[in-house]
Amino acid sequence: MNSSSIFINNAIPEEYRKIAKKLFPAEGFSSQKGLSQKAAFEFAAALGIGKEYKRLLNLINAAGPKMSEFLNSFQNNLDLLIQKTWVEKSDETRKEKLQADIPGFIKDIENKNFLQALEEFSVILDELAYLFFGAQSTHEDFAEYTFRIDEQMGLFWWYGAHLGFMINEIKNNNTEDESLWAVLLIGICYLTNF
């Protein structure tokens, strides 16, 4: 997924652009003194996962069965999505590698290593986009393409592309774990309920 002009992409409907700018401000993630929980919730609500997101947001502090159950559901659903994806024979190894990467990603979340998990999730989403959409996922107009299919799905893939842009910025700042978890949880919730 590649999008150099992520905020000026006219394919993004105006109501989503406003919500996206609150979560990922043009002046940078670090310009916010911590992530606004309201901005994260509004973005999740725009994706149709607001209720589930709000319920799960506090799991960052809840080790044990609730977190394990949620992450297990996420992993099972992601595995099903990957398995059901039809690809050319030459891309089968991509599917296998992606499935092999998921347990490490889950482990980073369980260990609250959210920056590492965010980096891995960005790669997972890139690979998943490729499995779903093929080479189209690497084109500049990928966001526009997905918005034409479905607006919520387009917003999700736009979010996935934007994760990669914010990781370097986050590395250079002391971003709170709660903010990283809030951004990461949006994508995890969406895929768990996909």
Residue 10 φ/ψ, nearest 5 degrees: -70, -10
Matching residue, tokens 């989503």: 16
From residue 111, give the alpha-carbon distance in Å to each of 68, 84, 173.
Answer: 12, 30, 20
Q: Dump pLDDT digits (tens) for 56-107.
A: 887 766 666 888 899 999 999 999 999 888 777 877 888 899 999 999 999 9
Q: Dump pLDDT digits (tens) for 18-52.
A: 888 888 877 766 555 556 778 889 999 999 999 99
pLDDT in the model for residue 80: 92
Matching residue, tokens 């997101």: 53
* 174 against 71, higher pLDDT: 71
The answer to whether the beta carbons of residues 1 and 132 sit under 8 Å apart is no
Q: Dump pLDDT digits (tens) for 105-135.
A: 999 998 989 889 999 999 999 999 999 999 8
Confidence tier at 10 by pLDDT (50, 70, 90): low
pLDDT in the model for residue 188: 96
As given in the structure block, the two tokens for residue 97 are 């590698």
What pTM was computed for the model? 0.87
On the question of pLDDT at 172 being above 70, the answer is no
* 61 against 188, higher pLDDT: 188
